[in-house]
């Protein structure tokens, strides 16, 4: 049994309850969606992943819309958000693959179990070899926060490496 969602006058109360988007946001969406998608597709490799990333980026832009429209560099801020979302999605996929790689010392498994920001910092710094300033830009945090996450990640990874060193010493 289905319910009729139309009011007596034939209008749809569901459609009327949808909150309108700011007109400027809709305009920027239409102007940038194709370029955002092309960028995400190039970085992520699949159409589905690119669509997800662009969707997440525009939701993030919308969430910060009032602050963003105050900025002189709105276009740059929008692209920065897209880059962060794409990087986040790339790192998330890398984390899943990393946990499956064989490692004699258990480092890959230990890395894949790090909290998200610590994992991101370790991969960006030691795998991609980005400097602190570039990492802070991608993550949207201060350089001191990047250093803090890196320090904490190293502390969490030490037991995996230390247990391997101890085990190797026992074998000799």
Q: Could you read off the pLDDT of 21-78 as tens digits, one per residue?
A: 888 889 889 988 999 999 999 989 999 999 999 999 999 999 999 999 888 888 888 9
Of 15, 22, 50, residue with least CA distance to 35: 50
pTM for the model stands at 0.66
| Each residue's pLDDT tens digit, 95-138 | 888 878 877 667 888 888 899 889 989 988 988 899 999 898 88
Please provide the DSSP assignment of 51-106 as one string.
HHHHHHHHHHHHHTHHHHTTSTTHHHHHHHHHHHHHHHHHHHHHHHHHHHS--TTS
Instruction: Tell me how far apart the alpha carbons of residues 43 and 40 are, in angstroms, rounded to a whole number.
Output: 5
Q: How far apart (Å, rounded) are the C-alpha atoms in residues 137 and 106?
A: 30
């Amino acid at each position: 049994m289905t319910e009729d969602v139309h009011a007596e006058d034939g209008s749809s109360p569901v459609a009327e309850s949808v909150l309108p988007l700011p007109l400027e946001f809709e305009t920027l969406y239409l102007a940038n969606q194709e370029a955002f998608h092309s960028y995400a597709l190039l970085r992520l490799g699949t159409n589905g992943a690119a669509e997800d990333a662009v969707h997440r980026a525009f939701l993030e832009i919308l969430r910060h819309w009032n602050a963003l429209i105050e900025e002189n560099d709105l276009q740059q801020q929008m692209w920065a958000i897209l880059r962060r979302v794409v990087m986040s999605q790339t790192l998330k996929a890398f984390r899943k693959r990393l946990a499956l790689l064989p490692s004699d010392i258990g480092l890959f498994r230990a890395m894949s179990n790090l909290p998200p920001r610590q994992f991101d910092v370790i991969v960006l710094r030691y795998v991609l070899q980005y400097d602190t300033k570039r990492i802070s830009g991608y993550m949207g945090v201060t350089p001191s926060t990047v250093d803090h996450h890196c320090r904490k990640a190293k502390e969490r990874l030490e037991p995996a490496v230390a247990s391997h060193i101890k085990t190797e010493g026992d074998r000799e």
